[in-house]
């Protein structure tokens, strides 16, 4: 079968299409014929080694994190799935490889493809959808009636997060470019700010939570609009020493992450002196079992076994 793989980490894309043997499945796995595989920024990070201190892959590495396909064979211990079932998945982090004609994957890491998704949309749903679900339910623990702001939320993450947030009963405010305004409002956003004509920090105040998609440079403005006790969750700010400590990394990795996150830690200290106590922590999301999640008819999201995604969680505490 054909696979797209790399033989080393590189800042340039040197993926090659290589012929390999079809994988054999274990008793707890299924063999999936891949119909569609999604490409997202995480694949570039796998190529250039940006996440190798968290997950260092053996080479050669077959790329690709999420896919949709049809089950071709079922292991002896697998229940709930049959040959011919259409499925989708965010592959477990230690065993990615969606850019292939076939994959062997644990049955705990797949779910039936919902009827409202086709193979193309299903392949693109799992990773981003899971990130949005975890952000809203598990990290931010948002409740009906609260207000959420997503700066830069007109992209793919926002398209997942907005309907989920509305299904939770949240008021959702988004900033982005003018071209995305109508479609963002159409999927449920309550307010849309054009970043070219409006500074959100001049317009908004006392929101309950912010999901940052812009990165470290925006954190000061984002924290300024959060009410005391509110939370900021960053999808872009990189891991720091506290992440390595929480993750149980060895001392040498803690030192390296400390260097990488020093700028953010200094910003935290400055903000804390201005606004009172703030909590910054980098979190790893672990799932030992998979269970399907149905959100009305919006989306069916699998919670993938041992899915890791670093998130920066910041709470602005009462002064």
- Residue 311: is its pLDDT beyond 70? no
Q: What's the confidence (pLDDT) of residue 255?
A: 76
pLDDT for 265: 66
Bridge partner residues of 102 (DSSP): 33
Task: Enumerate the β-bridge partners of residue 18.
Answer: 3
Question: Over pLDDT 70: what percentage of the chain?
Answer: 77
Tell me the pLDDT band of 171, cut-offs 50, 70 and 90.
very high
Backbone phi and psi for residue 57, each to the nearest 5 degrees, phi listed first: -85, 145
Q: pLDDT exceeding 90 applies to what percent of the chain?
A: 45
Residue 37 has pLDDT above 90, yes or no: yes
At 282 the pLDDT is 36
- Higher-confidence position of 100 and 255: 100
Provide mean pLDDT across the span 165-193: 95
Higher pLDDT, 287 or 48: 48
The pLDDT assigned to 98 comes to: 95
CA distance 13 to 288: 33
In the predicted model, what is the mean pLDDT of residues 22-37?
96
72 contacts 39 by C-beta, under 8 angstroms? no
* pLDDT of 29 strictly over 80: yes
Whether the pLDDT of residue 301 is over 60: the answer is no
**Whether pLDDT at 309 is above 50:** no
Among 14-18, 51-55, 69-73, name the one with the lowest average pLDDT.
51-55
* pLDDT value of position 11: 87
Mean pLDDT across the chain: 80
Question: What pLDDT score does 99 carry?
Answer: 95
Residue 22: pLDDT above 90? yes
CA–CA–CA angle 42, 127, 111 (5° rounding): 140
pLDDT, residue 254, reads 73
DSSP 20-70: -PPPPP-TTEEEEEEEEEE--HHHHHHHHTTTTTT--PPSSEE--SEEEEE
* Residues 255-285: tens digit of each pLDDT: 777 776 676 666 656 655 444 333 333 333 3
Q: Is the pLDDT of residue 299 over 50?
A: no
Query: What's the pTM?
Result: 0.75
pLDDT for res 271? 55
Q: What is residue 308's predicted lDDT score, i.e. its pLDDT?
A: 34
Specify burial of residue 269 (Cβ count, 10 A radius: 0-12, 13-18, 19+).
exposed
pLDDT (tens digit per residue) in 207-228: 999 998 887 788 788 888 888 8
CA dist 304 and 108 (Å) reads 7
pLDDT at position 114 over 60 = yes
Instruction: Find out whether 125 and 88 touch, Cβ atoms under 8 Å.
Output: yes
For the chain, which domains are there?
A: 2-123 (3.90.180.10), 126-316 (3.40.50.720)
């Amino acid at each position: 079968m054909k696979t797209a793989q790399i033989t080393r980490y590189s800042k340039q894309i040197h993926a090659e299409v290589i012929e390999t043997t079809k994988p054999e499945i274990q008793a707890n796995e299924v063999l999936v014929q891949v119909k569609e595989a999604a490409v997202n920024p995480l694949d570039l990070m796998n190529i250039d080694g940006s996440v190798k201190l968290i997950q260092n892959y053996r080479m050669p590495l077959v790329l690709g994190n999420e896919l949709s396909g049809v089950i071709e064979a079922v292991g002896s211990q697998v229940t709930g799935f049959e040959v011919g079932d259409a499925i989708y998945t965010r592959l477990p982090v230690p065993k990615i490889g969606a850019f292939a004609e076939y994959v062997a994957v644990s049955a705990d890491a797949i779910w039936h493809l919902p009827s409202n998704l086709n193979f193309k949309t299903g392949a693109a749903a799992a990773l981003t959808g899971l990130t949005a679900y975890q952000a809203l339910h598990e990290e931010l623990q948002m409740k009906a009636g609260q207000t959420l702001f997503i700066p830069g939320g007109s992209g793919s993450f926002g398209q997942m997060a907005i309907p989920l947030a509305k299904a939770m009963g949240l008021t959702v405010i988004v900033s982005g470019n003018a071209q995305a305004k109508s479609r963002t409002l159409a999927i449920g956003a309550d307010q849309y700010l054009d970043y070219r004509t409006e500074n959100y920090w001049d317009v908004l105040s006392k929101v309950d939570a912010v999901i940052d998609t812009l990165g470290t440079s925006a954190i000061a403005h984002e924290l300024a609009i959060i009410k005391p006790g509110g939370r900021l969750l960053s999808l872009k700010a990189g891991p720091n020493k506290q992440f390595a400590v929480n993750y149980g990394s060895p001392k040498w990795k803690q030192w390296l992450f400390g260097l990488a996150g020093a700028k953010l830690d200094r910003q935290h200290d400055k903000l804390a002196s201005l606004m009172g106590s703030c909590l910054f922590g980098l979190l790893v999301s672990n799932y030992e079992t998979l269970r399907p999640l149905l959100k009305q008819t919006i989306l069916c999201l699998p919670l993938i076994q041992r899915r890791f995604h670093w998130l920066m969680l910041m709470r602005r505490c009462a002064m």
